[in-house]
Amino acid sequence: MVKKTLLAFLALVVVIAAGGFAYLYLRHPAQRQPLEIKVSMSPDRIARGKYLFETIGDCGDCHTPRDFTRVAGPDIAGKRGQGTILSNMMLGLPGTVVAPNLTPDPDTGIGLWSDGEKIRAIRDGVDKSGRALFPIMPYTSFRNMSDNDVQALVAYLDSLPAIKNPLPVTHINFPVNLMIKSAPQPAGSVPAANPADKLKYGKYLVDIGGCADCHTPVSHGQPIMSKAFSGGQVFETTAGKVTSSNITPELDTGIGKWSEPYFLKKFNDYKDYALNGPPPASGPKAFTLMPWLHFSLMTQDDLSAIYTYLRTVPAIKNYVDPHQ
If you count them, how many residues does the chain have? 324
**pTM for this model (two decimals):** 0.92
Tell me the pLDDT tens digit for each residue of 76-91.
999 999 999 999 999 9
Tell me the pLDDT tens digit for each residue of 26-56.
478 999 999 999 999 999 999 999 999 999 9
Where in 87-167 does DSSP place strands (E)?
95-96, 98-99
- Residue type present at position 191: P
- Judged by DSSP in three states, 140 sits in helix
Provide mean pLDDT across the span 166-171. Answer: 97
In the prediction, which pLDDT does 21 show? 44
* Residue 125: C-alpha distances to residues 24, 119, 131 (Å): 18, 9, 8
Element (H, E) at 218: strand 218-219
The whole-chain average pLDDT of the chain stands at: 92
Confidence of residue 240 (pLDDT cuts 50, 70, 90): confident
Q: How far apart are CA 252 and CA 259, in angstroms?
A: 14
Cα Rg, the chain, nearest whole Å: 22
Q: Does the structure show a pLDDT above 50 at 15?
A: no
On whether the CB atoms of residues 242 and 323 are closer than 8 A, the answer is yes
Q: How far apart are CA 60 and CA 75, in angstroms?
A: 7
Q: With CA atoms as reference, report the closest residue to 249 among 316, 318, 322, 204.
A: 316
Confidence of residue 235 (pLDDT cuts 50, 70, 90): very high
In the prediction, which pLDDT does 287 show? 87
Among the listed ranges 37-46, 235-244, 258-267, which one has the minimum average pLDDT value?
235-244
- Residue type present at position 30: A
Confidence of residue 284 (pLDDT cuts 50, 70, 90): confident
Provide mean pLDDT across the span 198-205. Answer: 98
In the prediction, which pLDDT does 1 show? 56
Q: Does the structure show a pLDDT above 60 at 172?
A: yes
Q: Does the structure show a pLDDT above 70 at 71?
A: yes
Q: How far apart are CA 197 and CA 8, in angstroms?
A: 64
Cis peptide before 175 (omega within 30 of 0): yes
Q: What is 140-200 written as a DSSP string?
A: HHHTT--HHHHHHHHHHHHHSPP-----PPPEEPTTHHHHGGGS-------PPP-TTSHHH
Provide mean pLDDT across the span 226-249. Answer: 95
On whether the CB atoms of residues 153 and 160 are closer than 8 A, the answer is no
Residue burial 11-50, b: 16+ Cβ < 10 Å; e: rest: eeeeeeeeeeeeeeeeeebebeebbeeebeeeeebbebbb
Provide mean pLDDT across the span 279-305. Answer: 93
Q: How far apart are CA 48 and CA 195, in angstroms?
A: 14
Confidence of residue 283 (pLDDT cuts 50, 70, 90): confident
- What lies within 8 Å, CB to CB, of 4 at 6+ separation is none
Strand partners, 80: none
Q: How far apart are CA 75 and CA 61, in angstroms?
A: 7
Q: Does the structure show a pLDDT above 80 at 11?
A: no
Q: What is 230-259 written as a DSSP string?
A: ----EEEETTEEEEPPP-SS-TTTSSTT--
Among the listed ranges 59-63, 111-115, 153-157, 278-282, which one has the minimum average pLDDT value?
278-282
Q: Does the structure show a pLDDT above 50 at 22?
A: no
